[in-house]
Structure 1
Amino acid sequence: MLARRSRVAVVFVLACGFYLFHKALFSDSGLVGFDFTIPHDTQIQYPFKERGINARDAKKAEAVKEVMKRTWSLYKEKAWGFDEIKPVSGKHGNSRNGWGATIIDSMTTAAVMGLTDVFNDQYDWVVNHVDFNKAQGLVDPFETTIRYIGALVSTVDLLEAGVISAPSPSFREGILAKVKTLADNLGPGFDTPTGMMWPRVNFTQSLGVDVYGRRHEHAVVHLARAGSHWLEYSTLSHLTGNKIYLDNSTKAWDCLVSNRRGEPWPGILESPRSIWTGLPAGTTRTLGAPDDSHYEYLIKAHLLAPNGSTKQYARRWYQAMTSAQKHLSSTTKSQTNPHTFLLSYSKNRYENKVGHLTCFIGGNILLGAKYLSQNSLFSFGEALIEGCHHSYDSMPSKIGPEGWSWMPRESHLRPPHFPGPITLSQKEMYEKTGIWATETNYNLRPEVVESYFYGWRITGEEKYRQWAWEAFQAIVRGAEANWGYAEVDDVTNLRKEGNLRDNSESFWSAETLKYLYLIFEDPELCNLDKWVFNTEAHPLKRRF
């Protein structure tokens, strides 16, 4: 009898221990000392007016606007109706299903810049010309959601807020009719056991499929594709009164947000994931591509609609960022000028590589840490922005590369000996700057200036505006082409001839130029206490 009681006691203790461990990982108590009772009046944006800071630089804002006007006029002249212009040759192409990605994706940029004529052309295209029932090729739900749906619901919000004059009194009905058609055609993408989206949708057959157009039980998606539609679909449900969009996106994300299978690093998930089971199909853990905007949206979902049901997203964001600070943060070996970057982790090994896309995270951390009053995280975000600035400052062109590496200072990381620079030019760069470029191209990406935007708007520190202006000048100088602005082939080379790629994605005008403009314009425009930006820089009105 005594032995039986002992066994029962052991089982009871183990059960209590498991319960407490599970609760620590997945409930509020796992966030020791953290209070998630957040008042809705928490101020995120720096009080520029109250502090007497001249927060508008009209001359620089106008310079950015002029680049946008040149971008638009050349696109309209040579590529109207196509997704992109080829800025070197003046030709055109379709990479986003032929719906005029540059037109729609840059609507919100035209709106915030007050470019009425440009905006009216874009509005007319959306309401009277684009046909979202037809698609060239398979449709990528991730890119379609962030660029097209995000732009259109944001445009409704901006028009209703009076940011730009409406071309028609019935603008709401006209735009929402089109965006509903597009969202409904994407609907079959949610047809999986988990609700996670298929990587592609075949509009002709109304089927979710993999990237090759097939249906099978082994399809996988990375975290960004699985978890980067809640902001757009939640806003669409809010604007239309139809909950189906919010319900679909909530269910699709729930498999990641409500993960209950244990996480060695709470909040940071292995990727990719099976859309059939929700389980990991890979071992990569990173805050960079292709998982980035899943983490970005966790805090932004709660900011967009700060109610009880969205607190779970803020909790998961906090877990992920504290785990990243503990497990992925790395400092360069440089004794005189150390910088902080984020490692990635796969197959039980760290990788000392980071990409331009990852540079969004510094600004995202500032945003969340300010809102949640987490000073340690805030300093971490500032350090990451400094590191990304160093990637620009280290290049001869003063434009940051697509990817770079460093030698980590931390001795406990695996492998104990990281691969160093290979080529002579990489070795010379490493000796001089502490980093070396592994991918030397620049694709007109926004992530670095995006973090400058958050740095400026949240801290009011002038250095972020200065860095943004330096980046703007360098990018224009290095990327200007006959028919717009082109990707730069090699940011370590100062030559202009032959150093441009004949490509310019729509995010150049949708994101990069918008963030630059907003850094120099009156900060009351898209005030961070009133607006949340999706991952394509489309501002969405916060709902209190």
Structure 2
Amino acid sequence: MLARPSRIVGFMLAAIGFYLLHETLFANPSSKLPNITLPPPGFRIQYPFKQKGITAKDEVKAEAIKKVMRRTWKLYKERAWGFDEVKPISGGHHNSRNGWGSTIIDSMTTAVVMGLSDVFADQYDWVVNKVNFNYADGLVDPFETTIRYLGALISTVDLLEAGMIEAPSPSFRQDILRQATTLANRLGPAFDTPTGMIWPRVNFEDDIGVDSDGRRKQYTSVHLARAGSHWLEYSTLSQLTGDMIYYKNSTRAWNWLVYNHNGEPWPGILESPRSIWTGNPVGSTRTLGAPDDSHYEYLIKAHLLYPNKKSTRRHAKRWLQAMQSARTHLSSTSAKTNPPHAFLLSFSHERYENQMGHLTCFIGGNLLLGAKYLSRPDLFAFGESLIEGCRYSYVSMPTGIGPESWSWTPRESKPGQAGFTGPLTLPQRNFRDKTGIWPTAANYALRPEVVESYFYGWRITGEEKYREWAWDAFNSIVQMTETEWGYSEVADVTDTDKDKNLRDKMESFWSAETLKYLYLIFSDPELCSLDEWVFNTEAHPLKRRF
């Protein structure tokens, strides 16, 4: 099914357009968008390593990371070929992403970036000749499918056309785009709502969008990341194919968040979740973390991808507005760590929550990226402090790996709030007394966000500390996660007893993101330079369109 609006959606487009025009013309003055200073042509985001005489490539460390990627691939191929994931402890296999081989496809761009031609040849053959996107094992999550599968396919086209690796076939562009458009068209019913905001799932058998239970309920809602994390991928697909329906669908879906800024208590930071039928908030959560995170990530990246599009200037302004509000309303300083560290609060049900997640740690790097581009030293310093806070979540744990989420005792107080949540268990109290923070979810899921921010820190500032931190993280992660058949999630980062502390799971973002960011920190900085590439939220590089 092509990604075309249904009759219901078409009937409401005029009303939607009028509403958005009204919001633009008659917005609350307190929500006025900030001014931005765009850099001159030729402005460089990356640190000028060569001009400064810095030898930025560390061949030994880059090769060590590549070796882990090779081992990951070898064991997956041996034990789970064609399935989404290998089970790294038992050597079994598992489908969590509809059975299309997520480890194969999500890892394509990592193989290209690392120059693993033999690995990429297997992946390319799978994509072009084996996988069938017309059939899905279960309901399809359009958000995860877009960032992992579709993002990987279109990024691979960009990387091959840039000569990053020798293409296996002269027809690579049409062969990969044939599969990418098939997948995008099958995801089309996700946009079949009055607002364009996507359904949480798509039923491929019936070609309809549904909620996570497989039903079509009018009170279905989505969080911001789902509504706002398609534009980079779909606009690039339209650029590559010439079919603008993908750009139009993703633009319309995101407009409800980008343009409707009336009544935001904190300008730029939206309440979540939102109704897919009206676009209005049906919850009161305000956070830069999951499940809203990549909406904010994509605001600045939309402009970086298309810096000459006038429409994307609004996205950059909305990003700046949100980051200013985050610094005002959500920034927090720990009272019991030595030295104090910066973290991010969340706000839900009229109460601040002193809990931060590993997923939120992308924001430090995102702040550095946007602040450097928009010449905002205040926000740049904010981003640096958050990266240091996320690093502390790693070095304060016995394993050297940060937990899924943690809490701290804030130094500041908040109006109308008696206090913050403290430790609930004896082990949590012990950690607070020893380190100043305590895990609230102690597992580690092989996530990339902390090393992702190290990547931006290194590439933008050239400060060696970010590479030192990344190397420490890499060694700690490999030491704690390496198993017979791969690298396993850790059940408890406070427990160094590896034998009883692993989960039999290895999601595709381990090879798609975590290893890729680590490798790029130690490789030549001109490889996927931030001046030429924008990374989607699954670390798939997309070529900037000037």
TM-score where L is the length of structure 1: 0.94
5 Å-filtered alignment, 1:355-504, equals 355-504=357-506
Report the AA paired with residue 263 of structure 2.
Answer: G
1:397-440 CA distances to partner (integer Å, 9 max, x unpaired)?
A: 00000010001100235532212112222112111211011111
Q: Distance in 2 between matches of 1:49 and 1:85?
A: 41
Query: Residue 28 of structure 2 aligns with which residue?
Result: 22
5 Å-filtered alignment, 1:253-332, equals 253-306=254-307, 307-332=309-334
Could you say if the C-alpha distance between residues 212 and 357 of structure 1 is closer, same or farther in structure 2, counting changes exceeding 3 Å?
same
Q: Distance in 1 between matches of 2:141 and 2:385?
A: 34
Flag structure 2 segments of 5+ consecutive residues without an equivalent: 1-23
- Does 1:539 find its partner at 2:541? yes
Could you say if the C-alpha distance between residues 231 and 437 of structure 1 is closer, same or farther in structure 2, counting changes exceeding 3 Å?
same
Q: Distance in 2 between matches of 1:420 and 1:541?
A: 45
1:160-186 CA distances to partner (integer Å, 9 max, x unpaired)?
A: 000011000000000000000000000
Tell me how far 1:37 sits from its aligned partner.
4.1
Contact 2:38 2:374 in 1 (8 A): no
Query: Residue 240 of structure 1 aligns with which residue?
Result: 241
SS of the equivalent of 2:28 reads: helix
After superposing on structure 2, the runs of 4+ consecutive aligned residues of structure 1 that deviate more than 3 Å are: 18-21, 34-38
- Does 1:226 find its partner at 2:227? yes
Contact 2:334 2:411 in 1 (8 A): yes
Report the AA paired with residue 396 of structure 1.
Answer: P
1:433-452 CA distances to partner (integer Å, 9 max, x unpaired)?
A: 11011111000000000000
- Does 1:68 find its partner at 2:72? no
Query: Residue 50 of structure 1 aligns with which residue?
Result: 51
TM-score where L is the length of structure 2: 0.94
1:184-203 CA distances to partner (integer Å, 9 max, x unpaired)?
A: 00001100000111000001
Report the AA paired with residue 432 of structure 1.
Answer: K
Q: Distance in 2 between matches of 1:23 and 1:167?
A: 55
5 Å-filtered alignment, 1:4-23, equals 22-23=28-29
Q: Distance in 1 between matches of 2:481 and 2:71?
A: 13
Query: Residue 507 of structure 1 aligns with which residue?
Result: 509
Contact 1:271 1:281 in 2 (8 A): yes
Query: Residue 345 of structure 1 aligns with which residue?
Result: 347
Q: Distance in 2 between matches of 1:218 and 1:483?
A: 44
SS of the equivalent of 1:362 reads: helix
Q: Distance in 2 between matches of 1:413 and 1:402?
A: 28
SS of the equivalent of 1:497 reads: helix
Contact 2:361 2:453 in 1 (8 A): yes
1:219-271 CA distances to partner (integer Å, 9 max, x unpaired)?
A: 00000000000000010000001100000000000000001431110000000
Report the AA paired with residue 97 of structure 1.
Answer: N
Tell me how far 1:337 sits from its aligned partner.
0.8
SS of the equivalent of 1:341 reads: strand
Could you say if the C-alpha distance between residues 443 and 149 of structure 1 is closer, same or farther in structure 2, counting changes exceeding 3 Å?
same
Q: Distance in 1 between matches of 2:443 and 2:458?
A: 27
Tell me how far 1:21 sits from its aligned partner.
7.4
- Does 1:199 find its partner at 2:194? no
1:498-544 CA distances to partner (integer Å, 9 max, x unpaired)?
A: 11100000000000000000000000000000000000000000000
Q: Distance in 2 between matches of 1:316 and 1:443?
A: 31
Query: Residue 137 of structure 2 aligns with which residue?
Result: 136
Contact 1:350 1:413 in 2 (8 A): no
Contact 1:227 1:253 in 2 (8 A): yes
1:45-77 CA distances to partner (integer Å, 9 max, x unpaired)?
A: 000000111100000000000000000000000
Instruction: Give the aligned CA root-mean-square deviation in angstroms.
Output: 1.3
SS of the equivalent of 1:473 reads: helix
Q: Distance in 2 between matches of 1:414 and 1:88?
A: 49
- Does 1:185 find its partner at 2:186? yes
Report the AA paired with residue 473 of structure 2.
Answer: A
Report the AA paired with residue 380 of structure 1.
Answer: F
Q: Distance in 1 between matches of 2:69 and 2:447?
A: 15
Q: Distance in 2 between matches of 1:226 and 1:135?
A: 22
Contact 2:224 2:293 in 1 (8 A): yes
Flag the structure with larger Rg.
1
Contact 1:88 1:483 in 2 (8 A): yes
Q: Distance in 2 between matches of 1:143 and 1:19?
A: 35
Q: Distance in 2 between matches of 1:348 and 1:491?
A: 31
Tell me how far 1:35 sits from its aligned partner.
3.4
Contact 2:36 2:317 in 1 (8 A): no
Q: Distance in 2 between matches of 1:38 and 1:234?
A: 23
Report the AA paired with residue 265 of structure 1.
Answer: W
Contact 2:28 2:262 in 1 (8 A): no
Q: Distance in 1 between matches of 2:27 and 2:248?
A: 31
Tell me how far 1:335 sits from its aligned partner.
6.8
Q: Distance in 2 between matches of 1:126 and 1:447?
A: 27
Contact 1:223 1:290 in 2 (8 A): yes
SS of the equivalent of 1:326 reads: helix
Contact 1:36 1:311 in 2 (8 A): no
Q: Distance in 1 between matches of 2:200 and 2:407?
A: 30
Moved more, 362-371 or 329-338: 329-338
SS of the equivalent of 1:197 reads: coil
Could you say if the C-alpha distance between residues 527 and 149 of structure 1 is closer, same or farther in structure 2, counting changes exceeding 3 Å?
same
SS of the equivalent of 1:266 reads: coil
Contact 2:31 2:262 in 1 (8 A): no
Tell me how far 1:24 sits from its aligned partner.
4.8
Moved more, 271-280 or 421-430: 421-430
Q: Distance in 2 between matches of 1:75 and 1:57?
A: 27
Q: Distance in 1 between matches of 2:414 and 2:510?
A: 40
Tell me how far 1:20 sits from its aligned partner.
9.2
Report the AA paired with residue 271 of structure 1.
Answer: S
Q: Distance in 2 between matches of 1:274 and 1:24?
A: 24
Report the AA paired with residue 406 of structure 1.
Answer: W
Flag structure 1 segments of 5+ consecutive residues without an equivalent: 1-17
5 Å-filtered alignment, 1:73-222, equals 73-222=74-223
Q: Distance in 2 between matches of 1:492 and 1:457?
A: 31
SS of the equivalent of 1:188 reads: helix
Could you say if the C-alpha distance between residues 176 and 335 of structure 1 is closer, same or farther in structure 2, counting changes exceeding 3 Å?
closer
Q: Distance in 2 between matches of 1:336 and 1:290?
A: 30
Q: Distance in 2 between matches of 1:441 and 1:244?
A: 41
Q: Distance in 2 between matches of 1:187 and 1:123?
A: 24
Could you say if the C-alpha distance between residues 103 and 187 of structure 1 is closer, same or farther in structure 2, counting changes exceeding 3 Å?
same
